Chain A
Amino acid sequence: MINLPLLPILIPLLTAVILMFFPKRIAAQRLISIVATIGTIIASAVLVATVKQNGIQTLNLGSWPAPYGIPLVSDMLSALLVLTTSIIVLFVVWYSIFYMGKEHESFFYYIGIQFLMVGINGAFTTGDIFNMFVFFEVFLIASYLLIVLGGKKAQLRESIKYVLINVISSALFVSAVAYLYAVVGTLNMADVSQRIAEINQPGIVTVIAILFLLVFGLKGAIFPLYFWLPSSYHAPPIPVLALFGALLTKVGVYAIMRTYTLFFYHETGYTHVILGVLALLTIIVGCIGAIAYRDVKMIIIYNIMIAVGVILYGVAVMTPDGLEGAVFYLLNDMVIKAALFMLIGIMMAIVGSSHLKDMGGLIKQYPWVGWTYFVAALSLAGIPPLSGFVGKLLIIRGGFTAGDFVGPLLILVSSLVVLYSAMKIFINGFWGTPKEYHGAKKHLAFRLWIPAAALMVLAVAYGVGAEAVRPFITQAVEPLVNPAIYIEAVLKE
């Protein structure tokens, strides 16, 4: 089946188009979104199995040979990310069915989610740098809809800033592509890599590398470019926040990973040192934020930044261990962030506020939420049997192998901070004396818990079954360590 890499993009696209015909029929909207998302998961699982068996899958759209047409390239990394994305979308849609009110669901909410999935899966799969820009815009425009839907004052205020930042970074992306095209004269990513290797990365390519870091860093919220993230992510409702926190910043991280291992790997002395330093500063700023706030949403939002920093540090050291850990941790973090946001969403639904001062003693009445959150918190920090452990272990080992001591130690300290911030929620929210709760959605707590707990089961299985997942990750790292594999798969003719 040659069109397999296209299916995870095509299925949500067609679903979104079909759903647009009857936006007010909520039951049909829910059913079709769930069924189509399960279909996407099956397609991406088949894709992962195919890549595992037959190597990198490429599809030249319109049968134009490789550097001239647009190729879709599914190597193991992008296939795994597509699978993870689809799984998270399924659980978030399931959660939304109970959480979101009619005023959201009858105004293109599920359609927005499907388009978001189109853009993200497309950005993970494409093999053309301008096509990546287009898929970025697809998911960004869907995210503009989702962040402002509901039209509360805070949402309007914060979405203005969110849209502005992304308009600027999109214009910079277009400029970066223009410069790259002027230097190498091609847009196909494999071809770009080959030509940069031919001209041996002159200074101008390093400048373009930094420009790309600026663009993708704005999407992925790395150190000096993170300023929009906390308040923007504070505004939308929880299921949307779960989607954003789990997926959107990770697309920026993936794009940095891809460009820095495929394009700009010749002179790592300058670009990768900058990336490493910025990653460590991101971790520090994230830690400060995670300690400072007593608002559960803000604590987890700053934890997104810590994770982005840890993953990018793994990329920056450019050792096989570091990259493998980065991929391991990237997949884990997508799942665990979605689960955490869903769990604190339940707390907020019960309490009716997102501040810790209004919470306390939740474990008396809601022990299942409490213990699920406890496992999620340990998993986030990376306690050995759980899923965050292997990734961080490999990243730290990669850092030490590269001869760096500051980075790995900082990551170890940041794990403590992560644990402290997550336990702060657990201790203040679940322990102590029970308070009066005024949440309007209190009665929904159990139904909301089921998808969150199911996602946590998946995360725990990912950690416990690391031995089974490892061959996939190892295969995903191969083209990152050796770009020739990727180039040969795309430009085989």
Chain B
Amino acid sequence: MEILMSIVIGILFTCAVYLMLSKSLLRIIIGTGLLSHGAHLLLLTMSGLKTGAAPVLTEGITNYTDPLPQALVLTAIVISFGVTAFFLVLAYRAYQELGTDNMEKMRGTESHD
């Protein structure tokens, strides 16, 4: 199972890198979304995907899954959610002000000599 997950995560990372190397800003943001998906799945996978009950204390169950990575993923998800929201608004403002979403045209030239 871990092998399969690793391959899927690898594909997610590949797509993320491909998208982030493109010119359009929106594609780049979609790439960061895929990248954080990959990182979160990696966090879950690397703790081992043993079968067990959900980590909620219940009578008569002794075998639970690891609760720690789930807490880590929850934290990482809200952080990347906040950053993505900020990034999207930033992209919107930049589109309004600069009139382009092409990263090739967002080069700083003035006062760089």
Contact = CB atoms under 8 A, between A and B. Distances in A.
Contacts of B47: 178, 181-182
Given A144-B86, A160-B90, A160-B91, A167 B98 contact: no
B69 to A, nearest CB: 7
B54 to A, nearest CB: 20
A178 B108 contact: no
Contacts of A154: 108, 110
B42 A153 contact: no
A159 B110 CA distance: 16
Interface string A399-433: 00000000000000000000000000000000000
Interface string B45-66: 1111000000000000000000
B32 A178 contact: no
B93 A164 contact: no
A178 B112 contact: no
Interface residues of A, number: 40
A170 B86 CA distance: 15
> Which size bracket describes the interface of B in this complex?
35 or more
A478 interface: no
Interface in A124-142: 130, 133-134, 137, 141
Contacts of B48: 182
Interface string A147-187: 01001011011111101100110111011011101100001
Contact of A157 (B40, B82, B106, B112): B106
Contact of B111 (A158, A178, A295): A295
A163 B46 contact: no
Tell me the interface secondary structure of chain A in the complex.
helix
Contacts of B45: 178
Nearest to A157: B106
A238 to B, nearest CB: 14
A354 interface: yes
A441 interface: no
B111 A171 contact: no
A170 B32 CA distance: 10
Contact of A148 (B43, B82, B83, B90): B90
Contact of B32 (A144, A151, A168): A168
Contact of B43 (A141, A153, A158, A177): A177
Interface in B81-113: 82-83, 86-87, 90-91, 93-94, 97-98, 106, 108, 110-113
A153 B90 contact: no
Contact of B86 (A141, A293, A354): A141
A374 to B, nearest CB: 25
Nearest to B16: A171
Contacts of A83: none
B72 A130 contact: yes
A298 B113 CA distance: 10
A397 interface: no
Given A137-B79, A141-B82, A167-B32, A295 B112 contact: yes
B93 to A, nearest CB: 6
Interface of B: 20, 25, 28, 32, 35-36, 38-40, 42-43, 45-48, 68-69, 72, 75-76, 79-80, 82-83, 86-87, 90-91, 93-94, 97-98, 106, 108, 110-113
Given A144-B90, A179-B46, 17 more contacts: A137-B83, A151-B97, A160-B25, A163-B87, A163-B90, A164-B20, A164-B28, A170-B79, A170-B83, A171-B35, A172-B39, A174-B36, A174-B39, A175-B42, A181-B68, A234-B111, A295-B112
22 contacts: A130-B72, A130-B75, A134-B75, A141-B83, A160-B25, A161-B106, A164-B20, A170-B83, A171-B35, A171-B38, A171-B39, A172-B39, A174-B36, A174-B43, A174-B76, A177-B43, A178-B42, A178-B46, A181-B43, A234-B111, A295-B111, A295-B113
Interface of A: 130, 133-134, 137, 141, 144, 148, 151, 153-154, 156-161, 163-164, 167-168, 170-172, 174-175, 177-179, 181-182, 187, 231, 234-235, 293-295, 298, 354-355
